[in-house]
Structure 1
């Protein structure tokens, strides 16, 4: 592969490890792949293959892996129904989730398991860290919550069934094309819409079609709530109905106001924001100016060979040696 030209900014690849493990468990369980001690390894192997493919594609300078705290959940403490309704995890998946950190740490990557929190919080903190340090960031996940972290210097590779090469890389422009909202307003959009996968209902009557119109016309939910509090929503109704007149849509200003002022609507929105917002100030332990510190590429060749070979797939060991033990693109 031809070496890409040097970049002006270094690149951090932030990986939602549980997301990759879940997807690969369901996609690869039929292989019944085992490591050299006979333990289930298909999800771990699939996760590692996708990581290697992402490194091959993006040539990052450092990697950070977020993991969920599997012993306690701050969000469940606030809302016992959080993620209720999801299927019980298969025992072989649980085992591989619990072994993921040791595999990644053994390779020389940097992993973070924040107490009471999730990989989404690590992603949010990674985007903040990259912005502060003058780096670019690519978040690898299948979770839409990370879309709130998209900015001029942070993109999200949203994993779908096509794998790394077939997954969309979302930036500010593509996010707006998909949802009709700016990245800075995505969290507000999500709080209005709700998230069925996390068992979080949205504001009744305001979904994926109405929320973008509201945010686009009013600028932010802060402006919406302020108008309701100080003017009874008069500006909101007038602005929305004016837009409806211009576009030929049916007038809906009064209906929107009624839904936003319904009992519990503001409380539902505020609660969703508190649950959905990723924590941005986690200590990530990244020390890019210290050679050989965890997470920095390239990794030690002997170490990579020993660790990956334990999974028993020679082709993956060869790929790992190629993409993990050569200097990143920014050093070209």
Structure 2
């Protein structure tokens, strides 16, 4: 692997959780009734594209990959039929745009990946791993907290919230600690303890966010916690938590936490959540950065952009797309900063 020259910024991969952007854009823009030149609903597609153009304009990445969900099969649902149960049925107009998104992005020349039986979250996990292995930086664009587990020195998460890209936080390891009190390398363990109501995954009974964060910051990894539970009936865990309480004036929770961790089904629930929440990080993204013109690499062909984006029927978006997507990435300019 060749290291980047001292005056050349590390190359940047942006990976987009396309379904999360389409869902948000659908609910925010359905009132516009925007259609494409064929008269089909296009407000979610237009909203997603607008957000991505803003991201690309701001970060000037070298490559962009879009993760899509396999909407016909799910390994997680096969393992846990209640996975994501309780969510409202999707609007048919949204379903149609979810089905068309991949074709539109492929036509533009951007890279898409729909892993069989898996989700966009798995593409994000694999992109973060790919970036680390190839000496690139990575920005994951999503509204899903699951991506927080992939934050590192080379990977940040732009978590889209109300207010759009400009109002959304760019999460780094330090910012994640400030938000949740846990380092990124322990976020998956934190989430498995807490659970995830949006995916219909209950956490370990009696262990909420604050207790989970305290446990992980004071004791360390859950491997250490479970080892003490197995070998010492959790006495070390309880002692550490109670010492922390004495130093800070907080309530003593040592024995209570150990009792909840050793309750029937607690460890099974934790292990199951880790299994369901863990993103696959070994997917082939199909990126060939040394072969110009391959899908996902920027810049894109201006005529192709005009044809594909122009079909959405919004002239201002077409003009913006041509400017943003046909511009060289930041790493192509010697000495430029991102």
Tell me whether the two structures share a fold, i.e. TM-score over 0.5.
yes
- Give me the whole-angstrom Cα distance separating, in 2, the residues matched to 1:12 and 1:318: 24
Shift of 1:252: 1.0
Which region of structure 1 is more displaced relative to structure 2, 218-227 or 242-251? 242-251
RMSD: 0.9
- Give me the whole-angstrom Cα distance separating, in 2, the residues matched to 1:40 and 1:311: 10
With normalisation by structure 2, the TM-score equals 0.96
1:30 is paired with a residue of what secondary structure? Answer: helix
- The yes-or-no answer on 1:148 pairing with 2:126 is no
- The yes-or-no answer on 1:8 pairing with 2:27 is no
Shift of 1:162: 1.0
Spell out, residue by residue over 1:110-151, the C-alpha distance to the aligned partner (whole angstroms, 9 max, x if none): 000000000000000000000000000000000000000000
- The yes-or-no answer on 1:201 pairing with 2:202 is yes
Shift of 1:8: 2.5
- The yes-or-no answer on 1:318 pairing with 2:329 is no
Q: Which runs of 4+ in 1 moved over 3 A?
A: none
1:157 is paired with a residue of what secondary structure? Answer: strand
- Give me the whole-angstrom Cα distance separating, in 2, the residues matched to 1:326 and 1:202: 46
CA contact (8 A) 2:9 2:330 kept: no
Query: Where does residue 20 of structure 1 map in the other structure?
Result: 21
Stretches of structure 1 that go unaligned for 5 or more consecutive residues are 1-5
Shift of 1:250: 1.6
Query: Where does residue 336 of structure 2 map in the other structure?
Result: none
Spell out, residue by residue over 1:210-263, the C-alpha distance to the aligned partner (whole angstroms, 9 max, x if none): 001000111100000000001111111111111111111121111000000000
Query: Where does residue 40 of structure 1 map in the other structure?
Result: 41
1:47 is paired with a residue of what secondary structure? Answer: helix
Report the CA distance shift for 1:104/1:137 in structure 2 as closer, same or farther (over 3 A): same
1:192 is paired with a residue of what secondary structure? Answer: helix
Query: Where does residue 137 of structure 2 map in the other structure?
Result: 136
- Give me the whole-angstrom Cα distance separating, in 1, the residues matched to 2:170 and 2:237: 34
- The yes-or-no answer on 1:177 pairing with 2:162 is no
Query: Where does residue 77 of structure 2 map in the other structure?
Result: 76
Map 1:1-332 → 2, pairs under 5 A: 7-332=8-333
Query: Where does residue 3 of structure 1 map in the other structure?
Result: none
- Give me the whole-angstrom Cα distance separating, in 1, the residues matched to 2:16 and 2:251: 44
- Give me the whole-angstrom Cα distance separating, in 1, the residues matched to 2:253 and 2:175: 28
Stretches of structure 2 that go unaligned for 5 or more consecutive residues are 1-6, 334-338
- Give me the whole-angstrom Cα distance separating, in 1, the residues matched to 2:327 and 2:254: 58
Shift of 1:7: 4.5
- Give me the whole-angstrom Cα distance separating, in 1, the residues matched to 2:32 and 2:199: 30
1:209 is paired with a residue of what secondary structure? Answer: helix
